[in-house]
Amino acid sequence: MYKQITYIAVAAMLASTVAAEDETAPFFGFMGAAIALVFSCMGAAYGTAKSGVGVASMGVMRPDLVMKSIVPVIMAGVLGIYGLVIAVIISTGIPDTGYCMFGGYAHLASGLSCGLSGLAAGMAIGIVGDAGVRANAQQPRLYVVAARHPQRQLHKRGSSQLDYPVVRNRTWEELDQVSLATRRIPCRNP
């Protein structure tokens, strides 16, 4: 009889402890959502600022190449959107009742992984983007657009051999002329 009362008392204590822990579970879930959003936006802000300095210096050195240099700024801005999406997914996954500690910790872990990876990616994009934009200002041939300078084209006959234009000792303007002359665009008659 004494053992049964002890088991009931222990079960009641565990139930009250679990209920008290479950009241704090949404805190961890919402912290995961907040961490995902805040750290991803911090990474996006750092990446935008750092690569934006490179774009500003590009505007001073080579104003004609500024539009090609905003790619790191866009890449860094997308990181904040990733954090927002994960924060919305986490916060809508937290129910009003019946939310356990496992769910809270799972949402905290997913928010931490998204936020910290967004922060690290933003720092990397900022540093590499700034260096890449400045290097592009000094040597414009680093930036290659595949649509304007196709290096490989199929023959008109449909053979599988590739036609490689001669690239040595030519300027980019000459390569533009070569690529325009070697394109085979079918004409349409209205």
- Tens of pLDDT along the chain (190 residues) come to 566 666 665 555 555 555 445 788 899 999 999 999 999 999 999 999 999 999 998 888 888 888 888 989 999 999 999 999 999 999 999 988 888 999 999 999 999 999 999 999 999 999 999 998 888 888 767 655 444 444 444 434 444 444 445 455 566 666 566 555 555 445 455 4
Q: Which amino acid is at 116?
A: L
CA distance 73 to 66: 12
Quick one: pLDDT at residue 153?
Answer: 44
**Same domain, yes or no: 116 and 182:** no
**Same domain, yes or no: 70 and 150:** no
Domain count, the chain: 2
Quick one: pLDDT at residue 22?
Answer: 76
Measured CA distances, 178 to 12, 145, 147, 172, 186 (Å): 84, 15, 13, 10, 18
**Same domain, yes or no: 179 and 158:** yes
**Same domain, yes or no: 35 and 117:** yes
**Same domain, yes or no: 129 and 47:** yes
**Same domain, yes or no: 78 and 66:** yes
- The dihedral region occupied by 182, where left means phi > 0, alpha psi between -120 and 50, and beta the remainder, is alpha
**Same domain, yes or no: 89 and 44:** yes
CA distance 177 to 149: 10
**Same domain, yes or no: 98 and 168:** no
Closest-CA residue to 82 (of 136, 43, 118): 118
Can you give the residue range of the structural domain that contains 127?
Answer: 25-143
Global model pTM greater than 0.75: no
| 50 within domain boundaries | yes
